[in-house]
C-alpha cells in the first residue's frame, strides 16, 4: 500500500511502519484520560519519564538502525509507559491483565505475518491482501481470540450477505 499511495522507494519503509503500527496497536492506551479519571496526576509524571527514556534510547537506535531503530524506540517507550501505569494502578486497585488473550492475539497475528511473508512475491498484492484477510479471520478462530459477543458484534456490523461466510470463518 505504501508503494501504491506514495512512491516505489517508500517500500523500504514497510518494516519500520509495521513495527511502529504493531507497537501502537499493542501498547497505545489513553494514559492522560486514565490518570485524569482516576485523579492520579503522578501517573502522568511517570509516563513523561518513560517518554524521556524513549528519547534517550531513540538517539543511539536511530544512529545505528535508522527508521527501524526509531520504531523500536517508540515501541519500547510505549511498553514502558504502560507497564509503569499498570503496576502503579495495580498497587491501588485489583487489576488483572488478560495475558492468555494477549498471547492468543499475538499468535494469530504472527501466523498471518508468516503466511504473508511466505506468499510474498508469488501472488498479486490484491490477492495477497484478500488471502491475508482470510488468514486473519481463520487465525482468530483457530487461536480462539474472539469471545461470542465479539463475534456477534462483527457479524452485526457486516452486511447481511456476509453473515454466512463470517459464521464459517469465525465460528458460532
Whether residue 170 contacts residue 146, with contact meaning beta carbons closer than 8 Å, is answered with yes
Query: Which pLDDT does position 14 carry in this prediction?
Result: 65
Query: Which pLDDT does position 43 carry in this prediction?
Result: 67
Distance CA(45)–CA(31), nearest Å, equals: 11
Query: Which pLDDT does position 29 carry in this prediction?
Result: 63
Which runs of consecutive H residues, i.e. helices, occur in the chain? 2-5, 14-27, 31-37, 41-92, 99-119, 125-142, 148-157, 163-170
How many angstroms separate the first and last alpha carbons of the chain?
A: 33
**What is the torsional sign of CA 58, 60, 61, 65?**
positive
For the chain, 172 residues long, the average pLDDT of each consecutive 10-residue run is 59 69 67 66 71 82 82 82 78 75 83 83 78 84 82 84 82 70
Distance CA(105)–CA(26), nearest Å, equals: 10
Query: Which pLDDT does position 66 carry in this prediction?
Result: 82
Amino acid at each position: 500500500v505504501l508503494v501504491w499511495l506514495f512512491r516505489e522507494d517508500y517500500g523500504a519503509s514497510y518494516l519500520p511502519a509495521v513495527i511502529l503500527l504493531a507497537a501502537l496497536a499493542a501498547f497505545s492506551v489513553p494514559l492522560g484520560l486514565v490518570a485524569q479519571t482516576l485523579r492520579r496526576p503522578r501517573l502522568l509524571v511517570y509516563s513523561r519519564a518513560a517518554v524521556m527514556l524513549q528519547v534517550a534510547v531513540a538517539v543511539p537506535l536511530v544512529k545505528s538502525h535508522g527508521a527501524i531503530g526509531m520504531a523500536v524506540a517508540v515501541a519500547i517507550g510505549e511498553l514502558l509507559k504502560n507497564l509503569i501505569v499498570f503496576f502503579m494502578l495495580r498497587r491501588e486497585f485489583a487489576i488483572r491483565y488478560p495475558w492468555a488473550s494477549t498471547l492468543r492475539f499475538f499468535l494469530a497475528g504472527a501466523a498471518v505475518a508468516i503466511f504473508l511473508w511466505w506468499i510474498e512475491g508469488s501472488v498479486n498484492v490484491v490477492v495477497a491482501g484478500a488471502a491475508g484477510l482470510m488468514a486473519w479471520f481463520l487465525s482468530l478462530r483457530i487461536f480462539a481470540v474472539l469471545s461470542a459477543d465479539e463475534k456477534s458484534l462483527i457479524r452485526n456490523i457486516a452486511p447481511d450477505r456476509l453473515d454466512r461466510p463470517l459464521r464459517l470463518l469465525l465460528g458460532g
